[in-house]
Structure 1
């Protein structure tokens, strides 16, 4: 039996190798992007460019047990393990968007933005997650939100799932149980039928690479909901199910709604950019590419690549590690030929969440088995790169966004339009948020360069986030909003930060101010390898 497994591993090594080697060889060429003459650029955005802000139900709404809403995995997790949250808080009230949505949507309008991305809480629509429990109060709430968004001249971009799975479904195994694919299709059907006449931009899933974290355990004991300790197994089972659920929701829309609703569907995928730890090391260049294949490629490759399926390097490494650990087959589930075809191409645009950059080198770390160990890569965030004082992981590396955008174009094809569905900065909530101003401006300039110098088809940019919010296990210590929220005041008072002035200027002029070019030039001096 072990000999058979080894043969399968060797076959996986060869499958797709030619295609990936051709791409990697081309991408390793150190082609220098021509020196930009900034004086000739005006950083103007197209008139039809989507400019907006993003949010999420659990992080914003509160009203965790109001309006007929069911319990989510985050409700159960934090109420059971309050010590899992850095400041001991929870999302029971959060920013109270549930009661303040009208004034908050007006804030989006006052900023001059044209798109508002928000998520719908599955347990608010279907308290148990099942079709027999549709909650009319929940239906009415989001109906009112969508109508309010449109009344203010804003386009709604709706995320179906932003990590708040109904607890009832988790009791059945959550995303590790493939029956959830059927239930997610039912949920999507309800959303399309009630809101598809007005919602034209849909995202099925937000950051599935993070959404599966709760099934991968945590070495400290507490991580993300639902905190299932199945590292290296539950992680991949959940991801496998999510990809199938996404595809099912996409095909449902194609078959039943697209002809008359004429909307567009994708999902929001998150990735760092990865630089080689040593820019002179070919091995580190390969490690950087392996890191992005394990991160972005995990969910992007099955949907956006010409060949479909998981990246070859993932299939190879996980199979090899599984065999060495004593398993008789890979811990990464396999798609059938029919499933590969069914999932491939199930998007109308590429949704991208991108925040920062890391360095990469080959090295084993993390417990066995685990996703971290499977990557075979050690990540290092250089201490000399500028960073948020609140969140050391978020280095301010705007060029990394340009690199990711070019990677998507080169790896998955020029045909894909890209919407940056999240990009933003975390600090401690100060009103004079100068770092956020520099962050937004410099990242947008690099986005513009990707569009107009490199030919990447970026059609939208969403700032994370409109309001300070419940930042998952960081609680309210990490602030990412354009508006400060006083979470300790009963009215959750909102105060505009200095960064709102920049956003208003960009929205009004459709142009990124040139005065931030010096910051871009300074950040460009960071040691950086040119892949493109």
Structure 2
């Protein structure tokens, strides 16, 4: 089961917590979140964590993925000022989970950079690698005796491409084709820093793992034509080759480097817009991934572009592919999320074949609707059932090393720029109630049965 601190916890300025980039965005503008919604209270899990754990126990889950708020632990972003109230909150949550037989799966960064660090350049500042390493080390010291499963960054594509490239998400920096790649370089190096710190100082005593969460569609070729097959592989590599390949093989994949270098040259740049790693950095990066966290929701058809617009800058333009989702694919409440269960199996098999069958935990997978209180959520059940069936087939028929599955999400929450309009939860939350009343949906009953019987149907 999965949730993140910013979209469900609330308590945004309580008990010494500092401001993060999403706090800054929703309070200072520009107001890009639908209905000007904020996470100030959200699901109020900051005060209702015991109730949340009781819900998890009712479902029978054996792990709970949540994120630590960097700015709740370190209000300035730096370790010179540790917020003891924040430390105690997470210790209480972790203890409550373990007392109920639920293992914490902890994400260190889920998009909520402390605003003081963003004021210094955020992911553009090469010192970010040290800042994140210091923060990660503090978390290992404080919580590592009770947490053995760590994930550094959640969805780097969203962080870098949406946040520092196209400027759609906080911190709303518009630098497509340049800022996104600068961010990507420092992000993967920061992950490696955290991994090396854990490996050197904590692994022998805490015996845990340090992973990384990638967000990935399955990119299916629109035909069996050679050019469409190549285009689909390009789309996959632009995500995996940019963010995962460095952590396994020490560098971006060659297809990504060659594509961006070629396009940069055709656009008149003196060098590739994708920053290179030094040889020392390549060595430092290689082999720093214990487990892959996979967030997968949908599938997209890919075809080769007939002509290339060299005036367009950005991550998506650089791949020079066209994408679409057919109208007859079932859609959810959001245009981008179509129900395509077979894509899950194909993606898992591709990861196995491409990266020598790494250990994978599915950290997010879920269905959204836009109803205020839809408790008879049969389409969500259909989605989970059929995606889980494809996970099972990937494991049993394809030999993919999947070690866990985590649905998004435990309860309805703030869905970033969509505000409270999209509902992913197995539990409904009444956001008009001061108590943020939780109500079990039909999908929660189904999920509970799956866990109890170990059967998806």
| Aligned mates of 1:264, 1:432 — CA distance in 2 | 38
Answer whether contact 2:266 2:310 (CA < 8 A) is retained. no
| Aligned mates of 2:80, 2:44 — CA distance in 1 | 28
1:43-85: CA deviation from partner (whole Å, max 9, x where unpaired):
xxxxxxxxxx111011111111001000000011121226301
Alignment partner of 1:410 is 2:353: yes
Secondary structure, counterpart of 2:243 in structure 1: helix
Larger relative contact order (CA 8 Å, sep ≥ 6) = 1
Q: Which residue of structure 2 lines up, in the alignment, with residue 316 of structure 1?
A: 258
Alignment partner of 1:349 is 2:291: yes
Q: Which residue of structure 1 lines up, in the alignment, with residue 195 of structure 2?
A: 250
CA distance 1:69–1:282, change in 2 (3 Å): same
Q: Which residue of structure 2 lines up, in the alignment, with residue 73 of structure 1?
A: 21
TM-score by length of 1: 0.83
1:203-242 to 2 correspondence within 5 Å? 203-212=151-160, 213-218=162-167, 223-242=168-187
Secondary structure, counterpart of 2:166 in structure 1: coil
Which one of 431, 434, 452 corresponds to residue 378 of structure 2?
A: 434
TM-score by length of 2: 0.97
Which one of 387, 390, 412 corresponds to residue 443 of structure 1?
A: 387
1:245-324 to 2 correspondence within 5 Å? 245-277=190-222, 279-304=223-248, 307-324=249-266
| Aligned mates of 2:163, 2:310 — CA distance in 1 | 16
| Residue 297 (structure 1) shift | 2.4
CA distance 1:367–1:85, change in 2 (3 Å): farther
| Residue 308 (structure 1) shift | 2.9
| Residue 350 (structure 1) shift | 1.6
| Aligned mates of 1:173, 1:454 — CA distance in 2 | 44
| Aligned mates of 2:419, 2:73 — CA distance in 1 | 25
Q: Which residue of structure 2 lines up, in the alignment, with residue 186 of structure 1?
A: 134
Answer whether contact 1:366 1:372 (CA < 8 A) is retained. no
Q: Which residue of structure 2 lines up, in the alignment, with residue 524 of structure 1?
A: none
Answer whether contact 2:145 2:206 (CA < 8 A) is retained. yes
Secondary structure, counterpart of 2:34 in structure 1: coil
1:437-516 to 2 correspondence within 5 Å? 437-513=381-457
Answer whether contact 1:354 1:422 (CA < 8 A) is retained. yes
1:347-401: CA deviation from partner (whole Å, max 9, x where unpaired):
111211111000011224696321111111111011111111x112111111101
| Residue 326 (structure 1) shift | 2.4
Answer whether contact 2:62 2:102 (CA < 8 A) is retained. yes
CA distance 1:504–1:257, change in 2 (3 Å): same
| Aligned mates of 1:128, 1:327 — CA distance in 2 | 38
Alignment partner of 1:138 is 2:90: no
CA distance 1:441–1:367, change in 2 (3 Å): farther
| Aligned mates of 1:477, 1:121 — CA distance in 2 | 24
| Aligned mates of 2:311, 2:177 — CA distance in 1 | 9
| Aligned mates of 1:121, 1:157 — CA distance in 2 | 14
Secondary structure, counterpart of 1:131 in structure 2: coil
Q: How many residues align?
A: 452
Q: Which residue of structure 2 lines up, in the alignment, with residue 88 of structure 1?
A: 36
Which one of 341, 344, 349 corresponds to residue 401 of structure 1?
A: 344
| Aligned mates of 1:173, 1:508 — CA distance in 2 | 48
| Residue 502 (structure 1) shift | 0.9
Answer whether contact 1:468 1:483 (CA < 8 A) is retained. yes
Answer whether contact 1:365 1:372 (CA < 8 A) is retained. no
| Residue 231 (structure 1) shift | 1.2
CA distance 1:365–1:127, change in 2 (3 Å): farther
Q: Which structure has the greater CA radius of gyration?
A: 1
| Aligned mates of 1:234, 1:69 — CA distance in 2 | 28
Answer whether contact 1:267 1:347 (CA < 8 A) is retained. yes
Q: Which residue of structure 1 lines up, in the alignment, with residue 314 of structure 2?
A: 370
Alignment partner of 1:361 is 2:361: no
| Residue 217 (structure 1) shift | 2.8
Answer whether contact 1:216 1:234 (CA < 8 A) is retained. yes
Answer whether contact 1:95 1:487 (CA < 8 A) is retained. yes
| Aligned mates of 1:367, 1:260 — CA distance in 2 | 53
1:109-134: CA deviation from partner (whole Å, max 9, x where unpaired):
10011000000000000011111021
Secondary structure, counterpart of 1:463 in structure 2: coil
